[in-house]
């Protein structure tokens, strides 16, 4: 498929797909006319990339996650390495939630106190 079709099917911009390709996360072949051609499983790969970026993983971390992906596996690969990374990310998120809860409590207390 061409990049426009991949963009539509994965709901990711052409610009983002080109960026993912420049980072080695997505591969294409060049046709004789210079167009990029992607395999059908690229849709799942791009969707996984989008999901992982939304979860806060870096492009570097994505390479490890994508490296263990089984064909058509979505929304996230489940190999041992990826599961370790998800567990660590969950721990990071839990810490962020705890920190934000403290911030919320401080702000609520400050707002509820009468002004001097």
- CATH code of the domain in which 106 resides: 1.10.1660.10
Q: Looking at residue 71, what is its pLDDT? A: 61
Please name the residues in contact with 48: beta carbons below 8 A apart, sequence gap of 6 or more.
65, 66, 69, 73, 74, 75, 76, 77
Query: Is residue 74 over pLDDT 80?
Result: no
Total-model pTM: 0.81
> What sign has the CA pseudo-torsion 29, 43, 79, 82?
positive
CB 10 within 8 A of CB 43: yes
In DSSP terms, 29 is beta-bridged to: 37
Range of the domain at 27: 3-112
Instruction: Give the total number of structural domains in the chain.
Output: 1
Percent of the chain residues past pLDDT 70, beyond the cut: 97
Q: Looking at residue 68, what is its pLDDT? A: 85
């Amino acid at each position: 498929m061409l990049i426009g079709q991949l963009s539509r099917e994965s709901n990711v911009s052409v610009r983002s797909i080109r960026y993912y390709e420049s980072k080695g996360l997505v591969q294409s072949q060049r046709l004789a006319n210079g167009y990029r051609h992607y395999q059908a499983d690229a849709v799942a790969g791009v969707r996984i990339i989008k999901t992982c970026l939304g979860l806060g993983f870096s492009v570097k971390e994505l390479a490890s996650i994508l490296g263990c992906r089984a064909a058509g596996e979505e929304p996230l690969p489940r190999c041992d390495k990826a599961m370790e990374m998800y567990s660590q990310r969950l721990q990071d998120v839990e810490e962020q939630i705890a920190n934000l809860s403290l911030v919320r409590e401080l702000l609520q207390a400050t707002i509820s106190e009468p002004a001097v």
